[in-house]
Amino acid sequence: MIPIIDKLPTYDKRIIVTGAAGFIASHLAIRFVQNYPNYYIVTYDKLDYCASMRNLDSIKDAPNHKFIKGDLLDYTKLKSVLMEEKIDHIVHLAAQTHVDNSFGNALTFTENNVLGTHTLLEAARECGNIVKFVHCSTDEVYGTSIDKDEPSGEDAALMPTNPYAASKLAAECIVKSYLTSYNIPIIITRGNNVYGTHQFPEKLIPKFIIRLIKGQKLCMHGNGSNKRTYLYVDDMARAFDVVLHKGEIGKVYNVAGPHEYTNLDVSKLLLSMMKPDEDPMDHIEFVDDRPFNDVRYNIQDNAIRALGWRYDVQLDEGLRRTVNWYIENWQTHWDQDITTALLAHTRMMGDGNKLSAITLDAMTD
């Protein structure tokens, strides 16, 4: 009798990274593939409007990497991938994330962020051999409950104030229930605003960089006083790495950047790099704010620091790296026209590579 031979190579871990053609997840996938040749990495993405296969160019031919195009809502395919690829670790980053979009297209956020997460959990439950399931959430689930001087920890009240944040909290609730009901070994992260290379230019930093390259003014929401704490993408990828290897099952880990900055402060930093000899206020125009805009997200991250993680990149250095990358890549990195992403208030809805966008004024007329 001829023995049956398992044709799959032997790896120490077999990890799927969802949303991996997007921003943060592409950096994480690259880190895993390049730093751990003894790990097998499956990258999974439906290639929505904010994704680009160019984000994975550096690992596309790596022997320990495989890209699979797929939608989290496709349970049959997702379960098949987990079982056929013998996945034992899941890092779930796929999500709709842009708050502006959530005001005009909220149901899509519920569908992708809540139902998509639930579908993945069900597939993981059926798969039955998951060692860790790391779920990426956001500091926005805290909402205005952390508008205070004392940074809040992971046990603070959760009070989301926009459809995006609400969808992420709803997903968290389902994730936690699968730990209790089915012993799915989940860990949750809640990070500050992440910026850096590969980010689709609907978010403030890449949008403002490209607007300056194009000679356009920076469209500042409200009076620019809203505060955010920024975390460079490489630091966030390291955080996921640490949590995957050292995180405790059932725990939530906040991941915080070095300092808070107002949106106006960030704009002036960008202008000091890109228009150093000019008055920054000549390049800023103030526009209507969002329907609601949280004042700040003030969190502490003692739990992940106890695992050995520290941020490394200060904002000025991270911005320099980011500016240089967009100067080199903004015109060729995305297949679709990104013009609509650069508007002051954009509602973008992805259908494969199709895009549509309308302004806030059109939404509220």
- Residue among 28, 20, 81 nearest 54 (CA): 20
Mean pLDDT of 260-289: 93
Instruction: Decide if pLDDT at 253 tops 80.
Output: yes
What is the band of 359 on the pLDDT scale with cuts at 50, 70, 90? Answer: very low
Stretch among 68-72, 81-85, 158-162, 240-244 having the lowest mean pLDDT: 158-162
Contact 24, 136 (CB under 8 A): yes
The single residue of 85, 88, 139, 234 carrying the catalytic annotation is 139
Mean pLDDT of 209-237: 95
Mean pLDDT of 256-262: 89
Largest CA distance in the chain: 81
Whether 147 is catalytic is: no
Instruction: Decide if pLDDT at 276 tops 90.
Output: yes
* pLDDT for 348: 54
CATH of domain 13-200+230-262+296-315: 3.40.50.720
Distance between CA 253 and CA 214 in Å, rounded? 39
Q: Give the sheet arrangement for strand 39-45, strand by strand.
A: 65-69, 39-45, 13-18, 89-92, 132-138, 186-191, 252-255
* pLDDT for 344: 86
Average pLDDT, the chain: 89
Instruction: Decide if pLDDT at 6 tops 60.
Output: no
What is the band of 133 on the pLDDT scale with cuts at 50, 70, 90? Answer: very high
Instruction: Decide if pLDDT at 43 tops 80.
Output: yes
Whether 140 is catalytic is: yes
Instruction: Decide if pLDDT at 334 tops 70.
Output: yes
Mean pLDDT of 283-296: 79
Instruction: Decide if pLDDT at 361 tops 60.
Output: no
The single residue of 164, 178, 230, 297 carrying the catalytic annotation is 164
Mean pLDDT of 336-363: 59
Mean pLDDT of 193-204: 95
Domain parsing of the chain, residue ranges: 13-200+230-262+296-315
* C-alpha dist (Å) from residue 209 to 30, 112, 115: 24, 28, 34
The more confidently predicted of residues 259 and 243 is 243
What is the band of 365 on the pLDDT scale with cuts at 50, 70, 90? Answer: very low
Q: Torsion angle of alpha carbons 32, 34, 40, 42, nearest 10°?
A: 70
State pTM to two decimals. 0.91
What is the band of 37 on the pLDDT scale with cuts at 50, 70, 90? Answer: very high
Mean pLDDT of 91-109: 82
Instruction: Decide if pLDDT at 357 tops 60.
Output: no
Percent of the chain with pLDDT over 70: 89
Distance between CA 217 and CA 204 in Å, rounded? 13
Tokens of 342: 């650069």
Mean pLDDT of 236-252: 98
Mean pLDDT of 301-330: 97
Contact 320, 186 (CB under 8 A): no
What is the band of 293 on the pLDDT scale with cuts at 50, 70, 90? Answer: low
The single residue of 48, 140, 294, 301 carrying the catalytic annotation is 140
Whether 278 is catalytic is: no
Contact 324, 263 (CB under 8 A): no
